[in-house]
Amino acid sequence: MYQSPRRLCSALLHRDAPGLRRRPGPGLRSQSSPPAAAPRRASLRLSAAASAASGAARWCSRPACSMGNGTSRLYSALAKTLNSSAASQHPEYLVSPDPGHLEPIDPKELLEECRAVLHTRPPRFQRDFVDLRTDCPGSHPPIRVMQWNILAQALGEGKDNFAQCPVEALKWEERKCLILEEILAYQPDILCLQEVDHYFDTFQPLLSRLGYQGTFFPKPWSPCLDVERNNGPDGCALFFLQNRFKLVHSANIRLTAMTLKTNQVAIAQTMECKESGRQFCIAVTHLKARTGWEQFRSAQGCDLLQNLQSITQGAKLPLIVCGDFNAEPTEEVYKRFASSSLNLDSAYKLLSADGQSEPPYTTWKIRTSGECRHTLDYIWYSKHALSVRSALDLLTEEQIGPNRLPSLNYPSDHLSLVCDFSFNEEPDGLL
Ligand SMILES: NC(=O)C1=CN([C@@H]2O[C@H](COP(=O)(O)OP(=O)(O)OC[C@H]3O[C@@H](n4cnc5c(N)ncnc54)[C@H](OP(=O)(O)O)[C@@H]3O)[C@@H](O)[C@H]2O)C=CC1
Ligand SMILES: [Mg+2]
């Protein structure tokens, strides 16, 4: 049977892709591969081939990809963003990108550029996708969603007080490339980010050239602005691949708590899947941090749920909510989401042996005030309308290492979460 290039790509990537493991049986928690001891350069040669193949496959249906002499143009694009460091005197976050710099780029070339910048660093760690399918493959390619608090550059350098993280690990010129490498490695269709303080000078121009459409909503009083030589406010960003989705509706939401406006935000977008014509809603948020604010977070979650009720027309549209909720699963805001009339479930529970437990951590760091290991980040989804086909396993304690995160190998104190979703076949079923 004829398969369109897009279908073929998806089949390669989502069915038999190397690194995809079956869900562990009861009582048998799957383990990620141990960290490679080889120096970065050696391992790059190996992983470049695999990644280039999968990168080419995943993006191959995008006609805009340039395969020609893109490296020099790309180099200048990356160099341009490298030069726009936090030391910039100009508020670049207020400046729209120059459309002249937005010609398409090949993800393989960007990956190579990133790897060249990172050649002195230890290799990225291997993380595997765990196959969670319980039914036959759907007729359309899955939707890959990535959730990640990428650590605002200004907060990492000026506020977070990481005690064991080497100063070199926080250099933006290199940390930026580690972030891009992570995104390019997993090639999400939709990317939900928190703590973005380099949207206009880095992520928007580069990701738009990879075919993404982006939206940024800064926090009204970003703590980044308190840091000397900051790069503007941090906020939430949502990117989606334009060749897969059409934007139907977009809302920037300033969250309230008991009717008071707060400093936390969300973006909620309704999209239409170009292959299937199915519509769904995707949201990204970053709730108030710190202990003592549990009721506040719960009120913010309540406000977000009310907004999402209205945007999904009373749960008629399938919904995915990504966020750094700054709340353990024991907190009220988590319980509100788990028991909401939107019929949501948390995707990463499916990685546990019983399918009922959240991962042991999604963030792990050592501050001057002590070690913090918490589960705070989630991907919620409409449990009747959507299925989780696979999820990216977390880094193991050994991979994270004794100095925890961020590190020379990993750019943020939060791990990225990545899931592949498919629509359930019953369009009129309960959401
Ligand atoms: N000028 C003004 O009038 C106002 C200014 N502000 C500014 O905003 C700040 C508060 O903003 P708000 O949005 O409520 O911030 P949050 O309390 O939500 O935290 C902001 C960031 O700090 C990180 N963080 C969490 N715990 C710690 C910790 N123990 N040490 C260091 N960093 C931590 C969080 O990261 P993570 O999510 O990864 O844990 C988060 O990104 C104020 O301190 C002030 O700087 C706020 C209001 C008004
Ligand atoms: Mg943070």
pLDDT digits (tens, 9 = 90+) for 62-115: 333 232 333 344 444 455 554 444 333 444 444 445 555 579 999 999 999 999
Q: How do 235-241 and 190-196 pair as beta strands?
A: antiparallel
| Ligand 1 touching residue 326 (CB < 6 A) | yes
Whole-number pLDDT of residue 427: 52
ipTM: 0.95
The protein residue whose alpha carbon is closest to atom 46 in ligand 1 is: 221
* Across 161-184, average pLDDT: 98
Q: How far is CA 79 from CA 39, 74, 271, 428, in A?
A: 25, 8, 33, 50
Whole-number pLDDT of residue 102: 74
The protein residue whose alpha carbon is closest to atom 3 in ligand 1 is: 221
pLDDT digits (tens, 9 = 90+) for 257-267: 999 999 999 99
Q: 128-423 has which fold?
A: Deoxyribonuclease I; Chain A (3.60.10)
What residue ranges do the domains of the chain occupy? 128-423
Max Cα distance, the chain (Å): 61
Across 389-417, b (16+ Cβ under 10 Å) vs e yields bbbbbbbeeebbbebbbbbbbbbbbbbbb
pLDDT digits (tens, 9 = 90+) for 375-384: 999 999 999 9
- Tokens 């790059």, located at residue: 44
The ligand whose atoms approach the alpha carbon of 222 most closely is 1
The protein residue whose alpha carbon is closest to atom 30 in ligand 1 is: 160
The protein residue whose alpha carbon is closest to atom 5 in ligand 1 is: 221
Q: 228, 230, 326: which to mutate for ligand 1, most atoms within 8 A of CB? A: 326
Q: How far is CA 232 from CA 198, 229, 403, in A?
A: 8, 9, 29
pLDDT digits (tens, 9 = 90+) for 23-63: 544 333 333 333 333 335 323 222 322 333 333 333 333 33
Q: 150, 153, 157, 221: which to mutate for ligand 1, most atoms within 8 A of CB? A: 221
> To the nearest whole percent, how much of the chain has pLDDT over 70?
75
| Ligand 1 touching residue 127 (CB < 6 A) | no
pLDDT digits (tens, 9 = 90+) for 216-244: 999 999 999 999 999 999 999 999 999 99
